[in-house]
Amino acid sequence: MSLRFTKMHGIGNDFVIVDCRAQPFALDAVQIARIGDRHFGVGFDQLITIEPARDPICAFAYGIYNTDGSRAMQCGNGARCVAAWLHRAGAIGVGATRLQSPSGPVAVELLDAGDVRVDMGVPRFAPTQVPLDLAAADPYRLRIDGTDIAFGAVSMGNPHALLEVDDVDAAPLATLGAALSINAHFPHGCNVGFAQIVDRTHLRLRVWERGAGATLACGSGACAAVAILRRRGKLDAGVDVRLPGGTLRIQWDGEGKPLWMHGPAQFVFEGELPL
């Protein structure tokens, strides 16, 4: 047996894309983790399967798996890559399409320049919707490994925590980020962002992703950061979010409105992996 795949990335957030339109995906978590290993496999932040849609309003569906083989519910950079992959395969055209993500339908718009806009949905701040086992607050406060922290929380289809910092380059991703991502108050874990506000239209961000660790970019993390900080009155509606791998454009008109993400999707190589 062998696995044919496409390697793609969205500003450095990299993916193995697997075409499962004709047959179901049959790999287990151990096999997925082996493929995700950057020394003994292909390496990826997420593996994404492209599948027939189960929702009649959607053209196709996609599944998301982290490097450790666990399932993820949303991936903004991945959604852009799925749209670009489907377009190159001749399955969708330039313009608007609806895809079925693990967290529900997602509207994507393939632009002439090759960039993709994604409707990431309405940010959900209620603790039960994140989910977060704390009373509603902004900021939330916890003591993690002897350090008192304040953070915001939101669901963008997956749970996010965000900490404001003065210098994102010095953010403790591998210590505090990793610890908060598995804190028991987040029953499903969370992605942890560290945000540095440059001005009202520019933000710097680094993210520790549950199941994947530090990544060069996190699309839903960029959306979460803008949602939390704009809700606090610190950002305008349109914000450029600079991550280690590149910049995303986030547009959010406020409470009750969907949040849009705009960025590139790039092909790296095609491959076939013996299993």
> What gap in Å lies between CA 166 and CA 76, rounded to an integer?
26
What mean pLDDT do residues 194-209 have?
A: 98
Look at residue 274 and tell me if it is in a domain. Answer: no
Over 80: is that where the pLDDT of 113 sits?
no
Query: How far apart are the C-alpha atoms of 253 and 12, rounded to whole Å?
Result: 27
- Catalytic member of 20, 58, 218, 223: 218
Same domain assignment for residues 20 and 115: yes
Distance of CA 1 to the CA centre of its chain: 30
Query: What's residue 84's pLDDT?
Result: 96
Domain CATH for 26: 3.10.310.10
Q: Do 120 and 261 touch, CB atoms closer than 8 A? A: yes
**Do 81 and 193 sit in the same domain of this protein?**
no
Q: Report how far apart, in Å, the C-alpha atoms of 131 and of each of 95, 157, 158, 209, 219 are.
A: 34, 10, 9, 16, 19
Q: Verify that 131 and 228 share a domain, yes or no.
A: yes
**Do 97 and 174 fall into the same domain?**
no
Residue burial 191-219, b: 16+ Cβ < 10 Å; e: rest: bbbbbbbeeeeebbbbbbbbbbbbbbbbb
Q: CB neighbours of 211 closer than 8 A, spacing ≥ 6? A: 66, 67, 68, 70, 72, 189
Residues 142-155 pLDDT 10s: 999 899 999 999 99
Q: Does one domain contain both 114 and 134?
A: no
Cis peptide before 52 (omega within 30 of 0): no
Tell me the residue ranges of DSSP E strands in the chain: 2-10, 13-19, 46-52, 60-66, 71-72, 95-101, 104-110, 116-119, 140-144, 147-155, 159-164, 191-199, 202-209, 213-215, 238-243, 246-252, 259-263, 266-274
Task: Quickly state the pLDDT bin for 118 (edges 50, 70, 90).
Answer: very high
- Is 26 among the domain residues? yes
218 is catalytic: yes
Active site residue 20: no
82 with 145, same domain: the answer is no
Residue 74 lies in a domain: yes
Cα–Cα distance measured from residue 117 to residue 178, given in angstroms and rounded to the nearest whole number: 30
Domain range spanning residue 18? 2-121+264-268
On whether residue 275 sits in a domain, the answer given is no
Same domain, 144 and 240: yes
Give DSSP secondary structure letters for 151-217. Answer: EEEEESSSEEEEEE-S-GGG--IIIIIHHHHT-TTSTT--EEEEEEEEETTEEEEEEEETTTEEES-
Q: Answer yes or no: do 154 and 63 share one domain.
A: no
**Residue 251: strand, helix, or coil:** strand
Whether residue 28 lies inside any domain: the answer is yes
Same domain, 140 and 98: no
One domain for residues 139 and 114: no
pLDDT per residue as tens digits for the range 137-189:
999 999 998 999 999 999 999 999 999 999 999 999 999 999 999 999 999 99
Catalytic residue among 75, 81, 190, 223: 75
Q: Domain tally for the chain?
A: 2
225 and 147 co-located in one domain: yes
pTM of this prediction?
0.93
Q: Does the residue 61 lie in any domain?
A: yes
Across 69-85, average pLDDT: 95
pLDDT-derived band at 33 (thresholds 50, 70, 90) equals very high
State whether residue 53 is helix, strand or coil. Answer: coil
User: What is the chain's mean pLDDT, rounded?
Assistant: 96
Q: Could you tell me if 101 and 148 lie in one domain?
A: no
- The answer to whether residue 273 is domain-embedded is no
